[in-house]
Structure 1
Amino acid sequence: MTTPVTLRRLPAGDPRIGSDVGPLIRTLRPALDAEGFERFSAEAQAQGLEFTAAYDEADRCLGVAGHRVLATSRGRVLFVDDLVTDPRLRSAGIGERLLDELKSLARARDCVRIELDSGVTNQRAHRFYHRHALTIRALHFAVDTNGAPGAGR
């Protein structure tokens, strides 16, 4: 890796969630504005969502993973809601560091695996996941319930 990185788990209420994490998540979810991210993160953290962020030596946030442990009929899983690197720094090893941390965290929390969803058109992310031994094990189906076609994620 070319960029020295420090990983930090940000506790609920940490102001860096809004200032550092929010803008990165919003690069992945452009329909989500700052206020929407604030509402989402507060509600999701109450449901167990945690953020692990990668910082450089100048304390700039380079990437972030939003994750939570879920009890499922398949066993405990570490579900990754979002994994995103600053678009200017892709392929610098930041995503790999975050994914390695998530694997360690999953083992420490007695999870049987890591699971995440990835949009069907996100080929670059799919190549990254395959390179790091993630395999396609299911299809994720969805239906919008708010009446607006295509409004869901």
Structure 2
Amino acid sequence: MSAVDLTLTDLTPDDPRMSADAEPLIRTLRPELTAEAFTAFAREAYGQGLRFTVAYDTATARPLGAATHRLLATSRGRVLFVDDLVTAPESRGRGVGAYLLAELERRGRAAGCLRVELDSGTTNVQAHRFYHARRMTIGALHFGRNL
């Protein structure tokens, strides 16, 4: 699949495509997220600046990938932070993720960002290969603690 076969659409929490299209894609990354929890998350996170971009197959209108992202002012400068980047399992290796990432980089530049940043789970080796192939580097370790 080439990039010309994709159409990107930004969804809002009230758009019916949020639950029909974005939710199943995001839940492939986060299977523990219930439908109700996704709806609550989408509303709250959207209010905090998170944006939901879905890549649709132009010919079939099928959702093939999604990215959630936000602009952040940090002490390191302005960044476009990618919370989630996912391609439907049956569409992986067809350029969907690369197309989404390139669009996020374009949006980041247009917004005056110095970097695109994201976190990737330590065991997600396929994603790490994808990011390294796009010249992304490991700039930090992300630490957390359950409360």
Residues in 1 aligned to 2:2 and 2:78: alpha-carbon distance in whole angstroms = 34
Residues in 1 aligned to 2:13 and 2:101: alpha-carbon distance in whole angstroms = 21
Alignment counterpart, residue 118 of structure 1, candidates 113, 120, 123: 120
Letter in 1 for 2:39: E
Alignment-derived partner of residue 70 in structure 2: 68
**Given that residues 7 and 55 in structure 2 are in contact (C-alpha distance below 8 angstroms), is that contact kept between their aligned partners in structure 1?**
yes
For the aligned residues, what is the CA RMSD? 1.1
Query: Is 1:93 equivalent to 2:79 in the alignment?
Result: no
With the length of structure 1 as denominator, give the TM-score of the two structures: 0.92
Q: Secondary structure at the match of 1:128?
A: helix
Query: Is 1:43 equivalent to 2:44 in the alignment?
Result: yes
Query: Is 1:27 equivalent to 2:28 in the alignment?
Result: yes
**Given that residues 85 and 94 in structure 1 are in contact (C-alpha distance below 8 angstroms), is that contact kept between their aligned partners in structure 2?**
yes
Residues in 2 aligned to 1:77 and 1:2: alpha-carbon distance in whole angstroms = 28
Q: Secondary structure at the match of 1:106?
A: helix
Shift of 1:12: 4.1
Q: Which runs of 5+ in 1 are unaligned?
A: 146-153
Moved more, 10-19 or 126-135: 10-19
Q: Which runs of 5+ in 2 are unaligned?
A: none
Shift of 1:13: 2.1
Q: Percent identity?
A: 58
Aligned pair count reads: 145
Residues in 1 aligned to 2:60 and 2:43: alpha-carbon distance in whole angstroms = 27
Alignment-derived partner of residue 144 in structure 1: 146
With the length of structure 2 as denominator, give the TM-score of the two structures: 0.95
Residues in 2 aligned to 1:15 and 1:101: alpha-carbon distance in whole angstroms = 23
Letter in 2 for 1:134: M
